[in-house]
Amino acid sequence: MAGRAAEPEVIWARPERTGRGPRPAYTRADIAAAAVRIADAEGLDAVSMRRVAAELGCGTMSLYNYVPRKEDLYELMVDAAGGEHELWEPSGDWRADMLRVAHQTRALMHRHPWLPRLMSPVYGFSPNALRYLEHCLACLDPLPEPYGTKLELIAMLNGIVTTYVTNELATDERTRSLPWSQERENAIRIAYLGGRIATGEYPRMAAAFAEDAGPIDLEAVFERALGRMLDGFGPRR
Amino acid sequence: MAGRAAEPEVIWARPERTGRGPRPAYTRADIAAAAVRIADAEGLDAVSMRRVAAELGCGTMSLYNYVPRKEDLYELMVDAAGGEHELWEPSGDWRADMLRVAHQTRALMHRHPWLPRLMSPVYGFSPNALRYLEHCLACLDPLPEPYGTKLELIAMLNGIVTTYVTNELATDERTRSLPWSQERENAIRIAYLGGRIATGEYPRMAAAFAEDAGPIDLEAVFERALGRMLDGFGPRR
DNA sequence: TCGTAGTTACGTACACCGTACGTAGTGCGC
DNA sequence: GCGCACTACGTACGGTGTACGTAACTACGA
């Protein structure tokens, strides 16, 4: 009694099972899986404590025995998704390996479109985050730089992937979600933008739109961004 | 009657004033300013339709005359913050100018810590976003690349700034928010991480932490990231 | 072996959220 | 001057996170 002590600790620091009392009906993995299932099928906003509890088949407040705050539920989800990273024996070519990491992360985020929104702090040292980091560092073994630099590289890689995938997803979303037909939405946008540009206040924007290099290949843009970033590291040039 | 047509359009495409009926009591700028004031003082989560209406001194539902959905309120906020960008006559050195842009954006985000969270799609063509883009393009005039490449550069710059500031803010937040004293929180984290590392499963992570190059200088990390990114562009090397 | 303390489970309740809808009043364009 | 499009705003609905109280259960210390 006397108020259960609120625990600010990282969820990974508290043991999943303490030994006292009846054995918990679910594991953290169960809970994470349920939340991920909902988020995949109905979007992140559908993930509420009530909904997850219903998916598990337990009372809403029972969830709070496993997850002190909703934020921690999110951490469980991110970790579960991170577990889908398949790791491999480093090839010896750190550049190729890091490109492969980036593409895998991108695929992961496309499979779980809610991931980017939950990844604001680069990584929270969840079990699978540690596995992932260790793997990246292993891939970077051939790179003659201190670990500090390697961690910077990894952070930057994750940042770029997150940024680009977020953009891709936003574009997808925009074209899919509204039944006001994409053409109508686009027409409105173009009309507005065209009107703005026609004022002559933005000559370079006008030129950029006039340039019109056909439909932009987002995949290629992603590739170029990665390449340029990795060029910034590597053996002293 | 017959249901007011829900309007999916971008808020910037609808005129602020139509001419008919009583003149609106507030301008979009008033509303944006109120929301920004609240977000700055009490955090983004304190920005609710009710709260903003109260700040303005009007009824909650009156806000919906100006802003069809809450999401549009966010757009107003982002645009208002974007208006704080001070633009200058390009120096002729595009690299220096872009660094200056980056630092200014970073400062802006530190002044308005809620900004990164609202900037998921790189930019939504709000009035101030257009001003900003045009200015960046002007700074990039000396760079002999097509506009497509320049836009990629700008997107990447914004992405990196957002990523790094998000990290900085998360760190700040973590150290500030909880009165459980930062030492306690840190101690728990270190203990957990140390325990994990001690298992020997993560030898490179262990080495990375052992490297211990003193307290990390986030500012310097930011600078290096920018430099490396800009190196990826520039005259053919 | 047996209390008892620490857990699990979960229903109820509260304060808050976004916003659909209806109604009343206002002032411009025809 | 009429009518209509607009502003203003109160009420209400279905949702949210979660504090708190209670009952059942089990592993440990005596």
The A 68-87 residues near strand C by Cβ under 7 Å are none
Q: Could A130 and B228 be called an inter-chain contact, meaning their C-beta atoms sit closer than 8 Å? A: no
**CA-based nearest residue to A53, from A29, A69, A31, A25:** A31
Alpha-carbon separation of residue B101 from A74, B32, B154, B164, B178 (angstroms): 34, 23, 10, 15, 33
pLDDT surpassing 60 at residue A8: no
Mean of per-residue pLDDT scores for chain B = 87
Distance between A3 CA and the closest CA of chain B, angstroms: 16
CA distance A44 to A52: 11
pLDDT surpassing 90 at residue A213: no
Residue in A130, A162, A191 nearest the CB of B205: A130
Calculate the angstrom distance between C1' of D17 and CA of A142. Answer: 48
CA distance A193 to B215: 47
Mean of per-residue pLDDT scores for chain A = 87
Q: What is the CATH number of domain B94-231?
A: 1.10.357.10
Answer for B61: CB within 7 Å of strand C.
Answer: yes
Domain boundaries, chain A: 11-82, 94-231
Alpha-carbon separation of residue B89 from A148, B138, B141 (angstroms): 37, 9, 12
At residue A6, the pLDDT reads: 44
Q: Could A152 and B185 be called an inter-chain contact, meaning their C-beta atoms sit closer than 8 Å? A: no
A19 secondary structure, DSSP code: S
Q: Could A137 and B208 be called an inter-chain contact, meaning their C-beta atoms sit closer than 8 Å? A: yes
pLDDT surpassing 50 at residue B5: no
Q: How many C-beta atoms surround the C-beta of residue A144 within 10 A?
A: 10
Topology of the domain covering B11-82: Arc Repressor Mutant, subunit A (1.10.10)
CA distance A190 to A210: 13
Answer for A49: CB within 7 Å of strand D.
Answer: yes
Whether the Cβ atoms of residue A80 and residue A29 lie closer than 8 Å to each other? yes
Calculate the angstrom distance between C1' of C7 and CA of A66. Answer: 11
- Residues A139-163: tens digit of each pLDDT: 999 999 999 999 999 999 999 999 9
B144 secondary structure, DSSP code: -
Q: Could A134 and B204 be called an inter-chain contact, meaning their C-beta atoms sit closer than 8 Å? A: yes
Closest C1' nucleotide to A65's CA: C8
Closest C1' nucleotide to B26's CA: D7
Residue in B138, B150, B170 nearest the CB of A121: B170
**Residues near A208 by beta carbon (within 8 Å), at least 6 away in sequence:** B137, B147, B148, B150, B151
pLDDT surpassing 80 at residue B2: no
Q: Could A117 and B122 be called an inter-chain contact, meaning their C-beta atoms sit closer than 8 Å? A: no
pLDDT band at A112 (very low <50, low <70, confident <90, very high): very high
DSSP 3-state assignment of B198?
helix
The type of residue at A99 is: L
Higher pLDDT, residue B7 or B210: B210
Answer for A60: CB within 7 Å of strand D.
Answer: yes
The type of residue at B51 is: R
pLDDT surpassing 80 at residue A180: no
**Residue nearest the C1' of D8 (CA based):** B62
Higher pLDDT, residue B9 or B55: B55
3-state DSSP: chain A helix, strand, coil percent, rounded to 5? 65, 0, 35
Distance between A182 CA and the closest CA of chain B, angstroms: 11
Contacts of A204 in chain B (CB under 8 A): 134, 137-138, 141, 147
Higher pLDDT, residue A180 or A190: A190
The type of residue at B223 is: E
pLDDT surpassing 80 at residue A130: yes
Contacts of A227 in chain B (CB under 8 A): 232
pLDDT surpassing 70 at residue A42: yes
CA distance B211 to B130: 45
At residue B1, the pLDDT reads: 34
Q: Could B202 and A134 be called an inter-chain contact, meaning their C-beta atoms sit closer than 8 Å? A: yes
Q: What is the dihedral of CA A141, A142, A146, A147, to 10 degrees?
A: -20
CA distance B9 to B5: 11
Contacts of A229 in chain B (CB under 8 A): 228-229, 232
Number of helices (H), then strands (E), belonging to chain A: the values are 10, 0
**CA-based nearest residue to A208, from B97, B95, B137, B129:** B137
Q: Could A152 and B207 be called an inter-chain contact, meaning their C-beta atoms sit closer than 8 Å? A: no
Answer for A19: CB within 7 Å of strand D.
Answer: yes
Region label for B97, one of left (φ > 0), alpha (ψ between -120 and 50) or beta (otherwise): alpha
Contacts of A221 in chain B (CB under 8 A): 152
Whether the Cβ atoms of residue B32 and residue B63 lie closer than 8 Å to each other? no
Higher pLDDT, residue B207 or B176: B207
Distance between B144 CA and the closest CA of chain A, angstroms: 14
Q: Could A201 and B166 be called an inter-chain contact, meaning their C-beta atoms sit closer than 8 Å? A: no
pLDDT surpassing 90 at residue B43: yes
Q: Which nucleotides of D are covered by protein (CB under 7 A)?
A: 4-12, 15-22, 24-28
- Mean pLDDT (whole number) for B130-157: 95
Report the chain A residue with the minimal C-alpha distance to residue B212. Answer: A148
At residue B177, the pLDDT reads: 60
Q: How many CB pairs under 8 A join A and B?
A: 156
Contacts of B130 in chain A (CB under 8 A): 196, 201-202, 205
- Mean pLDDT (whole number) for B112-120: 91
CA distance B2 to B181: 57
